[in-house]
Structure 1
């Protein structure tokens, strides 16, 4: 497990990180979300040792993080950093060799990974000949080729079409399933919500919420329910303790002030007959995000 405790960073009088603390569990994906300038990239660069922290500690498996540990990390920066003139397969194999793999093994690793990421037909093309989306896939391959146990990815889904998002997501989930700790930032909250086991929300350099996805949903949930019936639900508008959000004859979406109000609505709907569904509604990550950064 990778753990950040009390990380603080300032530039002059401006504090850009303030007591940032969270865990990145082994064998899981942690989504790191926040607006532009929230502190995501600064946090990642401190993890990588590119920036020095003013205070706080980073540990890996309960011991101080060492430079030797960082050399084994997989990192994908938001800005592309591959050599544009190098051929795709040659480039990724070269990076594998820098991590100590023999030439033949490096070539095999690079080829298999690029094939898995959907670049099998572009192995001999120079990086600059690839579309921006395919350059993004190649950049991800560069972060993964040495099979790191810690992955730090800054906007890995940027510029990818929906099919490519699914391919990259599958690859990241496979790495996590093999025990890697995966931390990635993204502005695509729907993708983060679908993929991640744990979520970290940062705003203004401070952590506003963090923890398992389902736990955050429970903590920030409101009593909102969807009710579907073959009977008209017009009576719901006059129920005390209930606010109707959407209504269409036998369909209603409503908020309840208390659990007892929701139970009373359900009991009456059953009494009226024809109840087809009564479903609690969980907040989306986008809704939680808007709530915690207010």
Structure 2
């Protein structure tokens, strides 16, 4: 096996008396797409800042590309790309100028920056907009430009903080395609996300974080197999509050979760669970049998919705 590009052991970040990251262990292999999943305040962003060598660890061990962020910050930052959650492009410049000027921050020769800019304009599907100012571009175009800019130094690792937040479905899928191409070319992706479908699409492995700790780790498929059932039955009943019927759905599947507006029954056979529900006198207004997702895993592990 290749040596990990990122290794963390007992990694901790404190802000005064508050512990944002509470001793996590992580390994990320070359060419892997690795995700940090969790609600706001789980410690994802604090972890990403430590990896990016912009915030020093309070304790524990962290190695990025074999280097220590405490002492080798500039060397690490020169070899990674970082795409923040909010686009921070210079909107008074053109698309092309944003790439050219950013490339000079790394001390790259002008000829190399120009060649790299041509490659990235094509990669981001922005060649025809190269002379356009940034301000009137769509959200999807700005996001693709931000990612392209983070690749100007040809990094070994690309850090992506909530890469598709605020984008419409079409723009998200275009961006997923670009990131998949990056991974296929050998770039290691480390990302945070609130979107379960995004994690399933992009991540080879991920960790679920809650209150600064890792509560689960594995591939999307492995996490679903370990922490959920094959299918989920969603029931809506003709009642004011579904909590009134919580007792009636117990035992229909492996477990049940009752919310005010619906009931989730976790079972390997959703259709059989629906028949058992009807046998108990429950006639749903609507019933949906679907496969389990990472969101079901997340709710089971943390007990709250994904977006705070």
TM-score higher than 0.5: yes
Q: Go from structure 1 to structure 2 and tell me whether the alpha carbon gap of 1:98 and 1:253 turns closer, same or farther (over 3 Å shift).
A: farther
Paired residues for 1:238-257 under 5 Å:
243=253, 252-254=271-273
1:104 is matched with 111
Q: Deviations over 1:186-232 (max 9, x none)?
A: 11211111221111111111111112222222211336599xxxxxx
User: SS of the residue aligned with 1:286?
Assistant: helix
2:279 is matched with none
Picking from 138, 145, 154, the partner of 1:131 is: 138
Tell me how far apart the structure 2 counterparts of residues 154 and 74 of structure 1 sit (CA, whole Å): 11
Tell me how far apart the structure 2 counterparts of residues 97 and 149 of structure 1 sit (CA, whole Å): 18
Whether 2:236 is the aligned partner of 1:217: answer no
Q: Deviations over 1:253-279 (max 9, x none)?
A: 439xxxxxxxxxxxxxxxxxxxxxxxx
Contact 1:225 1:253 in 2 (8 A): no
Tell me how far apart the structure 1 counterparts of residues 110 and 131 of structure 2 sit (CA, whole Å): 17
Picking from 17, 25, 30, the partner of 2:34 is: 30
TM-score (norm 2): 0.73
Q: Go from structure 1 to structure 2 and tell me whether the alpha carbon gap of 1:111 and 1:129 turns closer, same or farther (over 3 Å shift).
A: farther
Alpha-carbon deviation of 1:132? 2.9
User: SS of the residue aligned with 1:194?
Assistant: helix
2:299 is matched with 290
Higher alpha-carbon Rg:
1
Alpha-carbon deviation of 1:159? 2.5
1:115 is matched with 122
Tell me how far apart the structure 2 counterparts of residues 225 and 81 of structure 1 sit (CA, whole Å): 41
Ranges in structure 1 where 5+ consecutive residues have no aligned partner: 227-240, 256-280
Whether 2:96 is the aligned partner of 1:89: answer yes
Counting matched residue pairs gives: 252
Q: Go from structure 1 to structure 2 and tell me whether the alpha carbon gap of 1:61 and 1:215 turns closer, same or farther (over 3 Å shift).
A: farther
Compute the RMSD of aligned alpha carbons: 2.7
User: SS of the residue aligned with 2:41?
Assistant: coil
Q: Deviations over 1:58-99 (max 9, x none)?
A: 124666453212321100111222222111111112222333
Contact 2:199 2:220 in 1 (8 A): no
Pick which of 78-87 and 37-46 moved more: 78-87
